[in-house]
Amino acid sequence: MPRSVRSGESELYDRHYYEMCDGGRSLAGGKEEASSKLRARLASMERRLGWPGRLVDVGCATGVFVAYAKGRGWDAIGVEPSAWAAEQGRRTRGVEIVTGTLEDAMLEPGSFDVVHSNHVVEHLDDPVRTLSVASRLLKQSGVLVIEVPYELTLPLAERTLAMVGTNQTRPDTTYHLSFFSKHGLEEVAKRSGLRVESIVGQPREPVSGSGAKALVLNALYAVEARSPRPNALVMTAVAV
């Protein structure tokens, strides 16, 4: 979730926002349990570190990923500006969630092995400010992993479906404030005191089922993941 600084902005990400997400595309990391991509991402971090370490999930919503990480043995906490979402996570999942922004969370510098954020940075009014704080929170061997949507052009699946008239090209409104290319992510990282290790396309979750639509979508998603215009980008970076 974003840093809420403008008048009335905090209301955008209260209960109504999460209920709207649940009724539509859902939350990017999963509603009730961590998505397969986040489970794989955490496993990669475990292999990298050699053990479960200390993790903060920035914009953790109701704490689905935080709860999953804790179940894997991580010392995991979340930071979430939405008071409603943070309370839901604490109450229903029993996880530690700091209500507020990362800038205001008063976390100890140099104390985290992983700073993670999934479909959050695009909401921020100043990504450099927030990622600069994230950089300072990392241990010497720590790593930052963020995922953002690629929205400068329509991803392959949406473009194909739009051409055949089966999908809307764009929603009427967006909650996003920043739109990233690979170069844009690299520049934000550089200004934040981070060194980029990789920026890769994030494959979409496969569509279940054996019908024609599922087969077509999964084929499009597979091609899209290798294209210059993927659905999302994942950046891995370290503090310098």
Summarised one tens digit per residue, pLDDT across range 150-185 is: 865 555 455 555 555 555 444 445 566 777 889 999
Give domain status of residue 144, yes or no.
Answer: yes
Give domain status of residue 40, yes or no.
Answer: yes
Q: For 77-126, what is each residue's pLDDT tens digit?
A: 999 999 999 999 999 999 999 999 999 999 999 999 999 999 999 988 89
Give domain status of residue 210, yes or no.
Answer: no
pLDDT of residue 14: 65
Output the average pLDDT for the chain.
Answer: 81
Give domain status of residue 87, yes or no.
Answer: yes
The CATH number of residue 142's host domain is 3.40.50.150
Q: Which domain holds residue 191?
A: 9-153+174-205+232-239
Give domain status of residue 213, yes or no.
Answer: no
Percent of the chain clearing pLDDT 90 (strictly above) = 55
pLDDT of residue 154: 52
Res 24 pLDDT > 50:
no
Q: Are 116 and 146 a contacting pair, CB within 8 Å?
A: yes
**Nearest Cα to 27, choosing from 120, 158, 126?**
120
Res 232 pLDDT > 70:
yes
> How many domains are contained in the chain?
1
Q: What distance in Å separates the CA atoms of residue 66 and residue 49, rounded to the nearest whole number?
A: 18
Question: Crossing angle for the helix pair 182-191 and 127-137, nearest 10 degrees?
Answer: 60
Tokens 């704080």 belong to: 133
pLDDT of residue 180: 85
Whether this model's pTM surpasses 0.85? no
Give domain status of residue 168, yes or no.
Answer: no
